[in-house]
Structure 1
Amino acid sequence: MSKASKTDWERLAKMDDQAIDTGDMPELGEDFFRRAELRVPVKQAVTIRLDADVLEWFRGQGTGYQTRINQLLRHYMQAQQSRPPR
């Protein structure tokens, strides 16, 4: 189960980079990047039926509309997971 972040992202986004305290975060050295691996989430192709106006609206937002649909579904899923069982 995913936990909600306790970070105040809105406040953080408004701060200048210099105002953010990163003192408790160690620098990432060459060894880290030498061993780092890129892990791309596995996507599964599915067929889904959407209302024509919904699909048209998402497509009208430009490239990446499928990614945005996935992000919205993920947010919904996480919100449901954090709710107490019925």
Structure 2
Amino acid sequence: MDILDVDVSKMKFDVALLKKDHTKHGVFANNEAGFKHLWSWLEKHRSSAADGIHVCLEATGNWGLDLADFLHMKGVKVSVVNPARVKA
């Protein structure tokens, strides 16, 4: 299973796709067009659609909720976690 780590801000979000043998990075606009661009990017860079993906993003108020909803609607496992827990 691949893991997508997401750092969300108001205007953009940065991602790191953690695969078995390497990591891919990307930056996308924090809007519907950026979400669709991320989805296309994921389809290109994931190990395998059959392996699944787990997305983890920090709870940053409302800035990440639309992205979390978008990915959830695509059938992706999404975890929104407390930033203090991530740091620990």
* Higher RCO (CA-CA < 8 Å; seq separation 6+): 1
| Both structures adopt the same fold (TM-score exceeding 0.5) | no
The structure with the greater share of residues assigned to helix is 1
User: Whose radius of gyration is greater, 1 or 2?
Assistant: 1
TM-score (norm 1): 0.23
TM-score, normalised via structure 2 length: 0.23
The structure richer in strand per residue is 2
